[in-house]
Amino acid sequence: MPARRKRRARRRTLGLALGAGGARGIAHIGVLRAFAKAEIPIDAIVGTSVGALIGAVYAAGQLENFERWVRKFDWPDVLRLFDPVWPRSGLISGTRALDQLAEVMGDWKIEDLAIPFAAVSIDLITGEEILMREGRVLDAIRASISIPGIFVPHRMGRRLLVDGALRNPVPVSHLEEMGSDVRVAVNLHAQPVREIMRSKKARDGSTPGTISAQLINLVDRRLARFRRRGHRSRATDDGQVEPNLFEILTASMTVLEHELARHRLAREPVDVVIGPDVHSIRSFEFHKARKAIHAGLIATEKHLPEIRKALERRGPRRRYWRGRQG
Protein backbone atom coordinates (compact mmCIF):
# COMPACT_ATOMS: atom_id res chain seq x y z
CA MET A 1 0.00 0.00 0.00
CA PRO A 2 1.54 3.30 -1.03
CA ALA A 3 2.49 5.76 1.71
CA ARG A 4 -0.10 8.45 2.35
CA ARG A 5 1.03 11.84 1.16
CA LYS A 6 1.31 14.40 3.90
CA ARG A 7 -1.04 17.32 3.58
CA ARG A 8 0.78 20.59 3.22
CA ALA A 9 0.02 22.79 6.20
CA ARG A 10 -1.72 26.03 5.33
CA ARG A 11 0.39 29.10 5.94
CA ARG A 12 -1.02 31.33 8.67
CA THR A 13 -2.10 34.67 7.25
CA LEU A 14 -1.05 38.02 8.69
CA GLY A 15 -3.27 41.08 8.86
CA LEU A 16 -2.00 44.56 9.64
CA ALA A 17 -4.05 47.31 11.29
CA LEU A 18 -2.52 50.74 10.63
CA GLY A 19 -3.59 53.39 13.10
CA ALA A 20 -4.45 57.09 12.94
CA GLY A 21 -2.09 59.89 13.91
CA GLY A 22 -1.62 62.52 11.21
CA ALA A 23 1.99 63.03 10.14
CA ARG A 24 3.10 60.48 12.73
CA GLY A 25 1.53 57.92 10.41
CA ILE A 26 4.40 58.28 7.96
CA ALA A 27 6.00 55.79 10.38
CA HIS A 28 3.78 53.17 8.72
CA ILE A 29 6.16 53.31 5.74
CA GLY A 30 8.99 52.17 8.01
CA VAL A 31 6.78 49.41 9.42
CA LEU A 32 6.04 48.11 5.93
CA ARG A 33 9.71 48.37 4.97
CA ALA A 34 10.64 46.20 7.97
CA PHE A 35 8.16 43.50 6.93
CA ALA A 36 9.54 43.52 3.38
CA LYS A 37 13.14 43.36 4.61
CA ALA A 38 12.25 40.39 6.84
CA GLU A 39 10.39 38.73 3.93
CA ILE A 40 7.19 38.44 5.98
CA PRO A 41 4.18 38.68 3.65
CA ILE A 42 1.22 40.87 4.56
CA ASP A 43 -2.09 39.27 3.57
CA ALA A 44 -4.55 42.03 4.50
CA ILE A 45 -4.47 45.66 5.61
CA VAL A 46 -7.10 47.76 7.34
CA GLY A 47 -6.37 51.39 8.11
CA THR A 48 -7.83 54.41 9.82
CA SER A 49 -7.04 57.97 8.70
CA VAL A 50 -3.34 58.16 7.73
CA GLY A 51 -3.25 54.38 8.23
CA ALA A 52 -5.82 54.06 5.44
CA LEU A 53 -3.72 56.33 3.24
CA ILE A 54 -0.44 54.43 3.70
CA GLY A 55 -2.19 51.05 3.60
CA ALA A 56 -3.86 51.88 0.29
CA VAL A 57 -0.60 53.11 -1.22
CA TYR A 58 1.09 49.85 -0.19
CA ALA A 59 -1.75 47.66 -1.48
CA ALA A 60 -1.56 49.49 -4.81
CA GLY A 61 2.16 48.72 -5.08
CA GLN A 62 3.04 52.42 -4.97
CA LEU A 63 4.85 52.65 -1.62
CA GLU A 64 8.22 53.42 -3.21
CA ASN A 65 6.79 56.32 -5.24
CA PHE A 66 4.96 57.68 -2.22
CA GLU A 67 8.02 57.40 0.03
CA ARG A 68 10.15 59.27 -2.51
CA TRP A 69 7.52 62.00 -2.60
CA VAL A 70 7.15 62.54 1.16
CA ARG A 71 10.89 62.33 1.87
CA LYS A 72 11.33 65.52 -0.19
CA PHE A 73 8.79 67.50 1.84
CA ASP A 74 9.76 70.72 3.56
CA TRP A 75 7.24 72.79 5.46
CA PRO A 76 6.26 75.01 2.47
CA ASP A 77 5.45 71.79 0.56
CA VAL A 78 3.11 70.80 3.39
CA LEU A 79 1.32 74.14 3.18
CA ARG A 80 0.86 73.74 -0.57
CA LEU A 81 -1.14 70.55 0.01
CA PHE A 82 -3.97 72.45 1.65
CA ASP A 83 -6.77 74.47 0.08
CA PRO A 84 -8.62 76.65 2.63
CA VAL A 85 -12.40 76.91 2.27
CA TRP A 86 -13.40 78.16 5.73
CA PRO A 87 -16.12 78.96 6.89
CA ARG A 88 -17.74 75.92 5.30
CA SER A 89 -18.00 72.62 7.22
CA GLY A 90 -14.21 72.52 7.58
CA LEU A 91 -11.15 74.70 7.19
CA ILE A 92 -9.64 72.71 4.31
CA SER A 93 -11.27 71.24 1.21
CA GLY A 94 -8.81 68.35 0.79
CA THR A 95 -9.18 68.40 -3.00
CA ARG A 96 -5.63 69.61 -3.66
CA ALA A 97 -4.03 66.96 -1.43
CA LEU A 98 -6.14 64.24 -3.04
CA ASP A 99 -5.23 65.42 -6.54
CA GLN A 100 -1.53 65.24 -5.70
CA LEU A 101 -1.99 61.80 -4.16
CA ALA A 102 -3.72 60.61 -7.35
CA GLU A 103 -0.68 61.72 -9.35
CA VAL A 104 1.59 59.67 -7.07
CA MET A 105 -0.44 56.46 -6.74
CA GLY A 106 -3.03 56.53 -9.52
CA ASP A 107 -6.81 56.07 -9.35
CA TRP A 108 -7.60 52.53 -8.19
CA LYS A 109 -10.62 50.47 -7.23
CA ILE A 110 -10.25 48.70 -3.88
CA GLU A 111 -11.31 45.45 -5.55
CA ASP A 112 -8.32 45.68 -7.92
CA LEU A 113 -5.61 46.10 -5.26
CA ALA A 114 -2.94 43.42 -4.88
CA ILE A 115 -4.03 42.47 -1.34
CA PRO A 116 -7.31 42.80 0.59
CA PHE A 117 -7.66 46.36 1.91
CA ALA A 118 -10.25 48.27 3.91
CA ALA A 119 -10.53 51.81 5.28
CA VAL A 120 -12.47 52.93 8.35
CA SER A 121 -14.56 56.10 8.48
CA ILE A 122 -17.54 57.38 10.46
CA ASP A 123 -20.92 58.48 9.09
CA LEU A 124 -21.69 61.70 10.97
CA ILE A 125 -25.39 61.41 10.19
CA THR A 126 -25.92 57.98 11.77
CA GLY A 127 -22.79 57.67 13.94
CA GLU A 128 -22.11 54.34 12.24
CA GLU A 129 -18.60 53.01 11.71
CA ILE A 130 -18.13 52.36 7.99
CA LEU A 131 -15.68 49.76 6.65
CA MET A 132 -15.00 50.54 3.00
CA ARG A 133 -13.92 47.38 1.14
CA GLU A 134 -14.98 48.33 -2.37
CA GLY A 135 -15.18 51.38 -4.59
CA ARG A 136 -12.61 54.07 -5.37
CA VAL A 137 -9.51 54.00 -3.21
CA LEU A 138 -9.31 57.81 -3.27
CA ASP A 139 -12.85 58.07 -1.87
CA ALA A 140 -11.97 55.66 0.93
CA ILE A 141 -8.84 57.65 1.80
CA ARG A 142 -10.59 61.03 1.60
CA ALA A 143 -13.34 59.86 3.94
CA SER A 144 -10.99 58.27 6.45
CA ILE A 145 -8.62 61.27 6.77
CA SER A 146 -11.36 63.88 7.23
CA ILE A 147 -10.53 65.26 10.69
CA PRO A 148 -13.75 66.95 11.88
CA GLY A 149 -13.50 70.73 11.80
CA ILE A 150 -10.29 70.72 9.76
CA PHE A 151 -11.26 68.86 6.59
CA VAL A 152 -14.65 69.21 4.94
CA PRO A 153 -16.51 65.88 5.46
CA HIS A 154 -16.61 63.58 2.44
CA ARG A 155 -20.12 63.07 1.11
CA MET A 156 -20.92 59.72 -0.53
CA GLY A 157 -24.57 59.31 -1.39
CA ARG A 158 -26.51 59.89 1.82
CA ARG A 159 -23.46 59.43 4.00
CA LEU A 160 -21.38 62.27 5.46
CA LEU A 161 -18.05 60.63 6.23
CA VAL A 162 -15.27 61.75 8.57
CA ASP A 163 -12.11 60.39 10.20
CA GLY A 164 -12.56 56.83 11.47
CA ALA A 165 -10.39 57.67 14.49
CA LEU A 166 -13.47 59.12 16.18
CA ARG A 167 -14.36 55.54 17.11
CA ASN A 168 -11.63 53.18 15.97
CA PRO A 169 -8.14 54.72 15.78
CA VAL A 170 -6.33 51.35 15.52
CA PRO A 171 -8.81 49.14 13.60
CA VAL A 172 -7.54 45.69 14.60
CA SER A 173 -11.16 44.72 15.30
CA HIS A 174 -11.77 44.35 11.55
CA LEU A 175 -8.93 41.93 10.84
CA GLU A 176 -11.01 38.94 11.94
CA GLU A 177 -13.62 39.55 9.24
CA MET A 178 -10.77 39.92 6.74
CA GLY A 179 -9.67 36.37 7.57
CA SER A 180 -6.37 37.14 9.32
CA ASP A 181 -4.88 34.44 11.57
CA VAL A 182 -2.17 36.68 13.03
CA ARG A 183 -3.18 40.24 13.83
CA VAL A 184 -0.61 42.99 14.15
CA ALA A 185 -1.56 46.54 15.15
CA VAL A 186 0.48 49.71 14.69
CA ASN A 187 -0.42 52.20 17.43
CA LEU A 188 0.91 55.71 16.90
CA HIS A 189 -0.27 56.72 20.35
CA ALA A 190 1.87 54.38 22.42
CA GLN A 191 3.47 57.49 23.95
CA PRO A 192 1.66 60.72 24.87
CA VAL A 193 1.85 63.38 22.15
CA ARG A 194 2.01 67.12 22.77
CA GLU A 195 0.24 68.97 19.96
CA ILE A 196 0.28 72.37 21.68
CA MET A 197 3.60 74.10 22.33
CA ARG A 198 2.90 76.57 25.13
CA SER A 199 6.15 78.52 25.34
CA LYS A 200 7.09 81.04 22.68
CA LYS A 201 10.72 79.88 22.90
CA ALA A 202 9.75 76.28 22.08
CA ARG A 203 7.70 77.41 19.11
CA ASP A 204 10.42 79.69 17.75
CA GLY A 205 12.89 76.80 17.88
CA SER A 206 10.75 74.51 15.75
CA THR A 207 9.08 74.98 12.39
CA PRO A 208 9.04 78.62 11.21
CA GLY A 209 5.85 79.93 12.80
CA THR A 210 4.71 76.29 13.25
CA ILE A 211 2.77 74.48 10.55
CA SER A 212 -0.54 75.09 12.33
CA ALA A 213 0.08 78.84 12.62
CA GLN A 214 1.03 79.02 8.95
CA LEU A 215 -2.14 77.14 8.00
CA ILE A 216 -4.25 79.57 10.01
CA ASN A 217 -2.51 82.51 8.32
CA LEU A 218 -3.13 80.87 4.95
CA VAL A 219 -6.83 80.61 5.76
CA ASP A 220 -6.82 84.24 6.89
CA ARG A 221 -5.20 85.48 3.70
CA ARG A 222 -7.54 83.48 1.47
CA LEU A 223 -10.61 84.65 3.34
CA ALA A 224 -9.73 88.21 4.31
CA ARG A 225 -13.34 89.30 4.69
CA PHE A 226 -13.78 86.79 7.53
CA ARG A 227 -10.50 87.68 9.24
CA ARG A 228 -10.43 87.91 12.99
CA ARG A 229 -7.23 88.60 14.91
CA GLY A 230 -8.11 85.81 17.35
CA HIS A 231 -7.33 83.18 14.73
CA ARG A 232 -3.59 83.62 15.15
CA SER A 233 -1.64 82.33 18.11
CA ARG A 234 -1.02 85.15 20.57
CA ALA A 235 1.50 85.48 23.38
CA THR A 236 0.09 86.00 26.88
CA ASP A 237 1.57 88.26 29.57
CA ASP A 238 3.54 85.37 31.11
CA GLY A 239 5.24 84.45 27.83
CA GLN A 240 2.96 81.51 27.04
CA VAL A 241 1.33 81.16 23.65
CA GLU A 242 -2.40 80.93 23.15
CA PRO A 243 -3.13 77.91 20.92
CA ASN A 244 -4.72 78.54 17.56
CA LEU A 245 -7.74 76.78 16.09
CA PHE A 246 -5.74 74.07 14.29
CA GLU A 247 -3.92 73.22 17.49
CA ILE A 248 -7.14 73.02 19.51
CA LEU A 249 -8.76 70.69 16.98
CA THR A 250 -5.73 68.45 16.45
CA ALA A 251 -4.92 68.29 20.16
CA SER A 252 -8.52 67.30 20.93
CA MET A 253 -8.42 64.52 18.34
CA THR A 254 -5.04 63.34 19.61
CA VAL A 255 -6.31 63.04 23.19
CA LEU A 256 -9.37 61.14 21.97
CA GLU A 257 -7.31 58.79 19.79
CA HIS A 258 -4.82 58.08 22.58
CA GLU A 259 -7.55 57.06 25.04
CA LEU A 260 -9.59 55.09 22.50
CA ALA A 261 -6.51 53.20 21.29
CA ARG A 262 -5.49 52.34 24.85
CA HIS A 263 -8.92 51.03 25.83
CA ARG A 264 -9.67 49.17 22.60
CA LEU A 265 -6.29 47.47 22.31
CA ALA A 266 -6.68 46.24 25.90
CA ARG A 267 -9.77 44.21 24.99
CA GLU A 268 -9.55 43.35 21.30
CA PRO A 269 -7.87 40.26 19.78
CA VAL A 270 -4.37 41.25 18.74
CA ASP A 271 -1.13 39.27 18.68
CA VAL A 272 1.47 42.02 18.49
CA VAL A 273 1.22 45.78 18.98
CA ILE A 274 3.94 47.91 17.40
CA GLY A 275 4.33 51.39 18.93
CA PRO A 276 6.75 53.61 17.00
CA ASP A 277 8.27 56.45 19.04
CA VAL A 278 6.77 59.40 17.18
CA HIS A 279 5.62 61.49 20.14
CA SER A 280 7.78 64.45 19.03
CA ILE A 281 6.01 64.71 15.65
CA ARG A 282 2.82 66.76 15.57
CA SER A 283 -0.16 66.10 13.35
CA PHE A 284 0.75 68.34 10.40
CA GLU A 285 4.54 67.96 10.50
CA PHE A 286 4.77 65.89 7.33
CA HIS A 287 8.16 67.47 6.63
CA LYS A 288 9.53 65.15 9.35
CA ALA A 289 8.95 62.10 7.15
CA ARG A 290 12.48 60.74 7.44
CA LYS A 291 12.31 60.73 11.23
CA ALA A 292 8.90 59.02 11.22
CA ILE A 293 9.95 56.34 8.72
CA HIS A 294 13.03 55.50 10.78
CA ALA A 295 10.92 55.23 13.95
CA GLY A 296 8.53 52.79 12.25
CA LEU A 297 11.39 50.64 10.96
CA ILE A 298 13.16 50.43 14.34
CA ALA A 299 9.97 49.68 16.29
CA THR A 300 8.95 46.88 13.91
CA GLU A 301 12.35 45.22 13.88
CA LYS A 302 12.10 44.84 17.68
CA HIS A 303 8.89 42.83 17.26
CA LEU A 304 9.92 40.56 14.37
CA PRO A 305 10.70 37.57 16.66
CA GLU A 306 7.21 37.84 18.22
CA ILE A 307 5.59 38.10 14.82
CA ARG A 308 7.45 35.07 13.47
CA LYS A 309 6.52 33.09 16.58
CA ALA A 310 2.85 33.96 16.11
CA LEU A 311 3.00 32.91 12.46
CA GLU A 312 4.56 29.55 13.37
CA ARG A 313 2.08 28.76 16.15
CA ARG A 314 -0.22 25.82 15.42
CA GLY A 315 -3.73 25.10 16.52
CA PRO A 316 -6.64 27.51 17.14
CA ARG A 317 -6.06 31.19 17.78
CA ARG A 318 -5.45 32.31 21.32
CA ARG A 319 -8.03 35.03 21.13
CA TYR A 320 -6.68 37.48 23.67
CA TRP A 321 -2.93 36.92 23.59
CA ARG A 322 -1.21 40.29 23.19
CA GLY A 323 2.33 41.43 22.66
CA ARG A 324 3.93 44.41 24.36
CA GLN A 325 3.59 47.85 22.91
CA GLY A 326 6.79 49.61 21.99
- The residues annotated with a catalytic role in the active site are 49, 163
Q: How far apart are the first and last CA of the chain?
A: 55
Peptide bond connecting 41 to the previous residue in cis, omega within 30 degrees of 0? no
In terms of Cα–Cα distance, which of 31, 11, 13, 3 is closest to 188? 31
**Cβ proximity of 171 and 144 under 8 Å:** no
Contacts of 202 (CB under 8 A, 6+ apart): none
Tell me the C-alpha distance between 304 and 77, whole Å: 34
Tell me the C-alpha distance between 301 and 307, whole Å: 10
Tell me the C-alpha distance between 184 and 192, whole Å: 21
